[in-house]
Structures are given as C-alpha cells and as structure tokens.
Structure 1
Amino acid sequence: MAEIVTEERYVRQIPIMGVEGIQKLKQSRVFVGRCGGVGGTVINYLIRSGVGHLVCAHGGKIVPEYLNRMQLAYESDVGRPCVDAFKDKTDAINPAAKITYVPQNITEIENLDEILGGVDIVIDAHPLFEERYALNAAALRLGVPMVSGAMYGDEGYVFTIIPRKTACLRCLYPERPKFWNDIKVFPALGMGPGIVGCTMAREAIELLLKGTSPLSGRMMHFDLTDMDFAVLEMPKTTCNH
C-alpha cells in the first residue's frame, strides 16, 4: 500500500511538470530559514509537491500565540522545542522527504555557509531584518537564488533574488524599517502568512524546475484589507552585489 501511495501521490502534477519535473524535485535540496506561519506553509507545500531534501532552521519552543498561523504547530505542542513539533508534522505529511532540522535561528548559526552548501535555493521566511540580511548576504556570497517573503498585518509580499542579476533585499531595504523591530508586536492573522508561504512555494518550484520564476526581480504585493494584489518591478540599485 505504501508503494501505491508513493506512486500516486504526484499523479495530478504530471500535466503541469511532467514525470521529469517530479524527478527533478525529488533530487532538489532547499534551505528554509524559519518554519513559522510563512516558512511552515512553504515546507508543507514543498514536501507535498515532492521536494526531496529540506534543511530547516528554527530555534525556540512553541508558545500559544504561534497557534493562530503556524501550520506545523498544534496546541499539544506548546512548550516543546519547535523543531521537534515540526518534525512530527512533516514526517506525517510525507515520510519520503528528507528534512534536516537545525534548532537555531539563522543569526545564531556560526557555520551558515557550510549548512547552505549544496542547496539549490534558499527560502527567507524570517520575521526579523537581522536574520533576513544575514541570509541575503549568504545567498549572494554563495550565488544561490533566494525567495524572500514577509507579511505585516493584512499586507504581504514575495520576491525572488537571482544573485548578480536582480535586485536583492538590500536594494529594497538598505536599512531596517523602524516599524519592524520586534517579533512580538507585529500583527498577524493566519491567512496573510498562508498566502505568502504558498506563493513562495510556487516560486521555489519554478526556480527548481526552470532556473527562473515570475517574480525574479519583481515583487508581488497584496493588501487583504481591500483585496488589492499587484506585481511591481524591483530596480537593482548600486548595493555591492
């Protein structure tokens, strides 16, 4: 029965990416920084789609306020290390996916370049700009494409960075926005992170299959208050990359 499930799991994807695409995803390796409302959604759909190996970094323990938006955290997980709770869910979603969990946030990781070694793309799902800048710099240094996404209240955005070709995070935000300085106070409703995470997962699959994507050098921005969605050009600045 397990073999039948494995064979049939991806049957509806064949018209979209072909058998060759499914095999390519199975051989792909993706880094995900933070696995919360945004990153957990990315992980959920990447492993459901057949991405074979993920490296996921997230520190701390599950607290009650995570539960309104994190797909990989349940009420019974409160007090557990985040990576232990997440592993239970991802093992149940797709046991064939290999997921390496790093129980630290990115700014606590000393051997970041080593951890990123061999990945095909990186996913920036971090809530804090210190973390986002660190991953942006590492991706540029290693020449690895990065899909970046974030939300604040009812607003969210996603864009993709192709090193040396497109704008990067520093082009968009040369300095950290003053209003985005505390992970504990920014507003969040589960649908916003979900939309951001789903969009990032689709971008990641496009990158893995084709080496480019609709949001390479462009930003999708939305505001759920009035259901306004737009795709904006991201000009490359003179930042040193």
Structure 2
Amino acid sequence: MSSERYSRQELFTPIGKSGQEKIVSKHVLIIGAGALGTASAEALVRAGVGTVTIIDRDYVEWSNLQRQQLYTEENAERRTPKAVAAKNRLQEVNSSVNIHAHVMDGNIEELESLITQGVDVIIDATDNFDTRLIINDLAQKHQVPWVYGACVGSYGISYTILPGETPCLSCLLDTVPMGGMTCDTVGIISPAVQMVVSYQVTEVLKLLVEDKASLRKKLVSFDLWKNQHTMIAVDKVKKADCPSCGEQATYPFLAYENQTKTAVLCGRNTVQIRPAEGMKRSLDAVAESLRPHGKVEQNPYLVSLTMDEKRLVVFQDGRAFIHGTNDISEAKTIYYRYLG
C-alpha cells in the first residue's frame, strides 16, 4: 500500500499518524446499507478503518439509486442484496479493509453476536425505531458507543450516544419529537443524506482516534431546504430510572415479547415475515415449488415469485418479503400458502 494513501488525513492534526494507526486497528458496525449506511461505509473505508461490518436485510431496487451511492443499475436489475453489493464495491475502493457483509434481518441474537465481536462503534443507518431501540439496549448492555442518525425530505438529525455518560435513545424519545414521516411518504433529497453522514462519520472518527473531548455534546437537526440548523442540549434528559440506561437497567427491548416477527417496511407497501427460529432454506427447492404459481426469478441469495399485483421474495435465512400489501394478516396468508 502506498504510504501516501492516508497522508492528507494524517496531516489533519487531531488525527495525525498516531490517530491513523488507531483507525486502522478499529472495528465499526454499520446497521443498514441504505442511503446513510452506504455513504458512511464508503467514507470509513476510504479513511482506512481496519474492519467494517455491514448488515442489511434488503436488496437493491431502482428507487434506491437516487441516493444510495454504492449501487448500480445492474444491482437493481439483479436484485442483489445490499450488503453484498456494498461489500463488492467497497473492496474495490480499499482492498486493505476487512469488510464483512451479512444479509439478514438483524434480530436481537444476530446483532448481539456481531456487537460482541470486538466492535468499537456502531452506526445507526436503519429505517425503523424497532431496530434502533434494540441497538440502543444492546449498546447500553455491552457499553459500545453508537451514533444515531435519520433523514427524510430535506430534514436530518443525529446524536452520539455514550453508554454510562449521555442520555440514551429511550431517554430522548420522551423529550425530543422524532416525527413519523418516511422517505416513501414525503420523499428525500440526497444532500440531506450527505449532511447526516458528515455528522455521523465525523463523530465516529473522533471515537476511533479516542478524542472524546471533541465529541459533539448536543443533538443536531437541520432542514436544508428551509435553511434551518439547530443544536439542542439534551444532557439533562438522562433519567436515573430509565429502563435502558438507568441505574437498574432491564433492557426492555431485548425481551422476547418485544421482538418483532412481522414488520411493515418503511412505507414500501411490503411486509416482512421472519420465522420465530432461525432456519436455512434451499433456494433451489423453493424456486421449484413456486414455479407453478407465477413468474419465478432466482439469484444466489433469494427467490422471487410474482403473482399479479403481489410479489413474494424468499431469502436463505427463512425471511420473506410480501410486496403489494401493508396488511400483515394478508401477508401471512400468502406466506403460509406458498411456504407452509
């Protein structure tokens, strides 16, 4: 590797050569490989982070290409799983980084297994609060810092959560309105994505070089179209009795009864169904059984069955997407009809 590769980063005094050595030795977990996840992953891989682990349950679609920067038209045509497509591109960007890609939902057991493999920082790049609350409890339980981020329309928000020091996401939810809009209901522009990523990645770099004194202590939000920018001090909202980060924490979002087995996906007119127990399906066998029922397409990671206005997509880990409905009961009917 050329000694010049990180020279400009090393010239930046808060990082320097010693900071770069720390960056190369660290491990970042990125949960979600959509707009925030792909941009964060590329920035960190270019910065030389030693190990980057990416987890995502979805595959590339045409609507992703407007803002999810690692993907191509070929990925959308092939419905390549996002984690796989991201890894392939990132390896071309920097072959010296260890990149691990996981095509899976990220339930509690899966996330906990990844977090306990020496992860130094977690980046939130998800599209739902169910997963974020699980991340929050796992981060508190295992004392791993994480950086929250979200964006929709021209609006974005970010906050750095340090277990044992700052308010956690559960504390914030009682005080700071997070909104209920999604990119599928009000749209999104890519500059909003890049702005959130800039905040998230900068905080991650501070953590990786162990410069905690420079961390932003406030929650930041902005609206690029309306030329608004706000920094909110939230340190006083930390609760001693918070069930997620308080003195007697019980981590409620890790309880079995709070685990989601079905989920409507972020305004996409799609329901995900995940088996209660992990399983591995033979995609060849699934494709063969589905062939009489409609148009079947297959790649190494999934099988897709199109039936009139509905589409059933089955992954190796037993998960299924039912496109064309937001009705969980209807989705379950389709799932059991074709998969038993």
**Normalising to structure 1: TM-score of the pair?**
0.90
Q: Which runs of 5+ in 1 are unaligned?
A: none
Change (3 A) 1:85 1:175: farther
Bigger mean CA offset, 216-225 vs 69-78: 216-225
In structure 1, how many angstroms separate the alpha carbons of the residues matched to 2:192 and 2:16? 31
Alignment pair present for 1:14 and 2:10: yes
Alignment pair present for 1:66 and 2:67: no
In structure 2, how many angstroms separate the alpha carbons of the residues matched to 1:186 and 1:92? 34
Q: Which runs of 5+ in 2 are unaligned?
A: 246-340
1:128·1:181 contact (CA, 8 Å) conserved in 2?
Answer: no
The Cα shift of 1:176 comes to 11
The residue that corresponds to 1:202 in the other structure is: 202
1:52·1:97 contact (CA, 8 Å) conserved in 2?
Answer: yes
Matching of residues 19-98 of structure 1 within 5 Å: 19-78=17-76, 79-98=79-98
Change (3 A) 1:18 1:56: same
**Amino acid of the structure 2 residue aligned with 1:9:** R
Question: Counterpart of 1:221 in 2: which secondary structure?
Answer: strand
Change (3 A) 1:213 1:137: farther
The residue that corresponds to 1:101 in the other structure is: 101
Change (3 A) 1:148 1:46: same
The residue that corresponds to 1:113 in the other structure is: 112
1:41·1:198 contact (CA, 8 Å) conserved in 2?
Answer: no
In structure 2, how many angstroms separate the alpha carbons of the residues matched to 1:213 and 1:225? 32
1:30·1:120 contact (CA, 8 Å) conserved in 2?
Answer: yes
Change (3 A) 1:177 1:231: closer
Matching of residues 123-142 of structure 1 within 5 Å: 123-142=123-142
Change (3 A) 1:211 1:142: farther
Write the deviation string for residues 97-119 of structure 1: whole angstroms up to 9, x where unpaired.
1111111132x353322210111
In structure 1, how many angstroms separate the alpha carbons of the residues matched to 2:153 and 2:26? 33
1:64·1:75 contact (CA, 8 Å) conserved in 2?
Answer: yes
Change (3 A) 1:191 1:101: same
The Cα shift of 1:38 comes to 0.8
Matching of residues 152-231 of structure 1 within 5 Å: 152-174=152-174, 180=180, 184-212=184-212, 214-231=214-231
RMSD: 2.1
Bigger mean CA offset, 18-27 vs 169-178: 169-178
The Cα shift of 1:126 comes to 1.1
**Amino acid of the structure 2 residue aligned with 1:39:** G
The residue that corresponds to 2:321 in the other structure is: none
The Cα shift of 1:125 comes to 1.2
Question: Counterpart of 1:130 in 2: which secondary structure?
Answer: helix
The Cα shift of 1:211 comes to 4.8
2:152·2:182 contact (CA, 8 Å) conserved in 1?
Answer: no
1:140·1:163 contact (CA, 8 Å) conserved in 2?
Answer: yes
Higher RCO, Cα 8 Å, sep 6+? 1
**Amino acid of the structure 2 residue aligned with 1:57:** I
Change (3 A) 1:130 1:181: farther
Question: Counterpart of 1:86 in 2: which secondary structure?
Answer: helix
Write the deviation string for residues 93-143 of structure 1: whole angstroms up to 9, x where unpaired.
11111111111132x353322210111111111111111111111101111
Change (3 A) 1:211 1:134: farther
Alignment pair present for 1:237 and 2:238: yes
In structure 1, how many angstroms separate the alpha carbons of the residues matched to 2:108 and 2:92? 28
Write the deviation string for residues 197-232 of structure 1: whole angstroms up to 9, x where unpaired.
122111100011125265554111111122222221
2:108·2:134 contact (CA, 8 Å) conserved in 1?
Answer: no
In structure 2, how many angstroms separate the alpha carbons of the residues matched to 1:236 and 1:143? 19
The Cα shift of 1:75 comes to 1.3
Q: What is the identity percentage for the equivalent residue pairs of Structure 1 and Structure 2?
A: 27
1:28·1:53 contact (CA, 8 Å) conserved in 2?
Answer: yes
